[in-house]
A and B are shown apart, each in its own frame.
Chain A
Amino acid sequence: MVVQKEFGHLWELLSEIPDPEIPVINLVELGVIRHIEEKPDHDKVIVTITPTYTGCPAKKLFQDLILEKLASKGYHNVEIISQLFPVWSTDWLTDETKAKLLKEGISPPTIGDKIIQCPKCKSTDTKMVSAFGSTPCQSLYTCNNCKEPFNYFKCY
């Protein structure tokens, strides 16, 4: 995703917040934080976020983590706006973020869920065990080559 240059210090600050379920990537990389606005007299910050999955249990936690992080730097008057449009997509994950996921043992999303790579041996000879996994965003796979079971980050 494109990180907006304005209010760079706030973008940097919020990119210190790890995703609660996949701590290797942060909320900015995940594309949850869409917009940050600081009022001219520095007394208010408005953060616009978008949910990843409508039923994601971490939805409320995202907001709490953002408030906590901003409060730690003295921003106490914070408004969080949740917007659904434009619709969050795994297409927003950069190649760099995807590489981090793979390194962490989570196979990153591929267009149309087509070529799915084993995070361990990097073989693409893999098969789905269940479309639904440990979190709403993941499916269960196993590798036909090295037999390792792994999570795949679903394409949304």
Chain B
Amino acid sequence: MKITIENKDAMSVIRLADTSVILAQRLAEMCSNGPTLEEDIALSNISLDLFGRAEELYRIVARMEGNKFTPDEYVFHRNEREYYNIKLVEQPNHDFAWVISRQLLHDIYAKELFTQLSNSPIHEIAGLSQKVLKEIRYSFMHSHDWTNRLGLGTPESNQRMQAALDHLMKYVDEMFNFDELDRKFIPDPEKLKSTWFSEVDRILGESNLKRNAVAPLSMRDFRQGFHSEHMGHLLSIMQFLPRAYPDAKW
């Protein structure tokens, strides 16, 4: 099955959908691996929100594309180079500090992004965005709280958070390289970027953490389907069942 995306609007929306589904999959990996039972439940709940958000976004993509493919087909039958998620969300759960840092950087981005999308002239995108913002409130409360706790915790937790942030910050630049397709949906990309940086700096500041300068990555943009080495491994696990058993129903 070769999945194509013809419509330009659909191409922009599928980036949001892919970012949601890949982060959902990463968090689903934490199910039964959280440091405490409450944390396990929290991360699984946030994962569920992201899967639900992705499903709604793929439905919008499917409608824009004349229902040629279903949401499941978009998720399970595209290869690595046909995925358009930001590289930040595919980074692995190296330790709990990576999980939390990734959540924090993503939540602030998503909060600003969906705030701008909530005024979209496309009704279903505006409606979904308003819904998503309610969910992000809880997810952001979680990542904000944990950033404070780990940053201000022990020297070990602080050092691990800083190491995670130093690594993940390498993948931030591309998040703001909005192209023509994105700009149709995001009325004020400059504001999105400046709000993101000031919000991240504020929270890191109150948590005794820093945003260190990072050398830019020589990796091409996710908008062209380029990914870090972790992406293929993630997809191989996520897509195994429907690819091995194409008629499986659940």
Query: A57 and B128: CB pair below 8 A?
Result: no
Nearest CB in chain B to that of A139: its residue = B138
Interface centre among B45, B50, B51, B56 (most CB of A within 10 A): B45
Cβ of B141: which chain A residues have Cβ within 8 Å of it? 131
- Taking A130-B38, A131-B141, A154-B138 as contacts, is the C-beta distance between A84 and B131 under 8 angstroms? yes
One of A22-30, A85-93, A98-106, A115-123 contacting the partner: A85-93
Query: A133 and B127: CB pair below 8 A?
Result: no
Query: B49 and A55: CB pair below 8 A?
Result: yes
CB distance from B134 to the nearest CB of A (A): 5
Query: A53 and B49: CB pair below 8 A?
Result: yes
Total chain A interface residues with beta-carbon distance under 8 A = 23
Cβ of B42: which chain A residues have Cβ within 8 Å of it? 130-132
CB distance from B123 to the nearest CB of A (A): 6
Query: B49 and A136: CB pair below 8 A?
Result: yes
Number of contact residues on B: which range applies?
20 to 34
Query: B124 and A84: CB pair below 8 A?
Result: yes
Q: What does the 1/0 interface line of B29-57 toward A look like (CB < 8 Å)?
A: 00000000010011001101111110110
Query: A87 and B49: CB pair below 8 A?
Result: no
Cβ of B88: which chain A residues have Cβ within 8 Å of it? none
CB distance from B76 to the nearest CB of A (A): 18
Interface set, chain A 24-67, CB cutoff 8 A to B? 51, 53-57, 59
B160 lies within 8 A of chain A by Cβ? no
Interface set, chain B 120-136, CB cutoff 8 A to A? 123-124, 126-128, 130-132, 134-135
Query: A55 and B50: CB pair below 8 A?
Result: yes
Q: How far is the CA of A156 from the CA of B137 in the complex (A)?
A: 10
Nearest CB in chain B to that of A134: its residue = B41
CB distance from A133 to the nearest CB of B (A): 7
CB distance from A56 to the nearest CB of B (A): 7
The residue that B45 contacts in the complex, of A86, A87, A132, with Cβ under 8 A, is A132
Q: What does the 1/0 interface line of A116-155 toward B look like (CB < 8 Å)?
A: 0000000000000111111010001000000000000010
Cβ of B46: which chain A residues have Cβ within 8 Å of it? 132
Cβ of A87: which chain B residues have Cβ within 8 Å of it? 127, 130-131, 134
Cβ of B130: which chain A residues have Cβ within 8 Å of it? 87
Interface centre among A132, A134, A136 (most CB of B within 10 A): A132
Query: A85 and B38: CB pair below 8 A?
Result: no
Query: A136 and B126: CB pair below 8 A?
Result: no
The residue that B124 contacts in the complex, of A85, A130, A140, with Cβ under 8 A, is A85
Query: A130 and B41: CB pair below 8 A?
Result: yes
Cβ of A133: which chain B residues have Cβ within 8 Å of it? 41, 45
Query: B52 and A56: CB pair below 8 A?
Result: yes
CB distance from A30 to the nearest CB of B (A): 15
Query: A156 and B38: CB pair below 8 A?
Result: no
Q: How far is the CA of A134 from the CA of B51 in the complex (A)?
A: 17
Q: How far is the CA of A64 from the CA of B50 in the complex (A)?
A: 23
Interface set, chain B 206-244, CB cutoff 8 A to A? none
B170 lies within 8 A of chain A by Cβ? no
- Taking A88-B131, A140-B38 as contacts, is the C-beta distance between A131 and B142 under 8 angstroms? yes
What 4 A-B pairs are tightest by C-beta distance, nearest first?
A: A55-B52, A54-B52, A85-B127, A55-B48
A133-B45, A136-B48 given; name 15 further pairs at CB < 8 Å.
A54-B128, A55-B49, A56-B52, A84-B56, A84-B128, A85-B123, A88-B131, A131-B42, A131-B141, A131-B142, A132-B42, A133-B41, A134-B41, A136-B45, A154-B138
